[in-house]
Amino acid sequence: MRSLLIPVIVVVFLSSGYSREFTDSKGRKIEAELLAHAGENIIISRGGKEFVVPITMFSVLDQGFIREWTAANPGAVRYKFAYYTDLEKEKISQGKAPGSMVDDRLKVIPYTYEAIVYNKEVAPIEDIEIVYEIYVADFVDTKNNAFTRMAVGGAKTEKLQAIAGKFPVAKIPPGGRQEFSRTFNTEFYIDRDGGKTDAAATDKVIGIRIRVMKDGKVLDEHVEDEDSSRMAKTSWQGAAPSAGTKIEDQR
């Protein structure tokens, strides 16, 4: 088990700013620096402080300017993320695990990855998608009971298994978070030799990679490893998402 106790914060974009005298819908004028846009809001700086202001609070003329500016600066969107991940090994009775007779040499170890994506920005994050891949060093080949070859000295062969999932997120408010979890099985093979029980091979969890997506583009990526050497060699696999993601209530 390995957990990240302090969330990692990543600033994805910070606009250099654009100073201008703005007029609000009541005719009041303010000098402010336009930093970024976020949906129907903009982020401005005034007097050394940042504010999130709805575009509709400005005059019609300034609304037109703001929309022209956001269209001309599609990358001027600021995001700031933090992450927390925790891998837990589930406790089950291996006597109740699948298998009997010869097949009882194959057992399962369930794990659960719990993860949180935080919005550390002053503006909401809207219409995003969270995508993840969990990587496992798969030593136990269950196809055609290939794992039984290890009982007679067969070599261990490592394959990369990617367990993927994704889900849409309509909105994470400022300071809010989105929690999710995924339970998955690994396997281990027991070689019973003359009454002696040996763990001939055990699948190993490598780590998890989380991506925050919007309109098909990657806003940010977070990597948490359980095996640093293997994870350093593991790239995004583009695996097909499978069922099993548990989405927690947003806070």
198-219 confidence digits (pLDDT tens): 566 789 999 999 999 998 989 9
- pLDDT reported for residue 97: 54
Mean pLDDT of the region 215-228 = 94
CATH second-level architecture of 11-72?
Roll (2.30)
11-20 confidence digits (pLDDT tens): 443 344 678 8
Mean pLDDT of the region 125-144 = 88
Taking the model in full, what pTM does it have? 0.76
| pLDDT band, residue 101 (cuts 50/70/90) | very low
The full set of domain ranges for the chain reads 11-72, 81-247
Question: CB-based contacts of 23: which residues, under 8 Å, 6+ apart?
Answer: 29, 30, 58, 59, 61, 62
53-85 confidence digits (pLDDT tens): 999 999 999 999 999 988 888 778 888 899 999
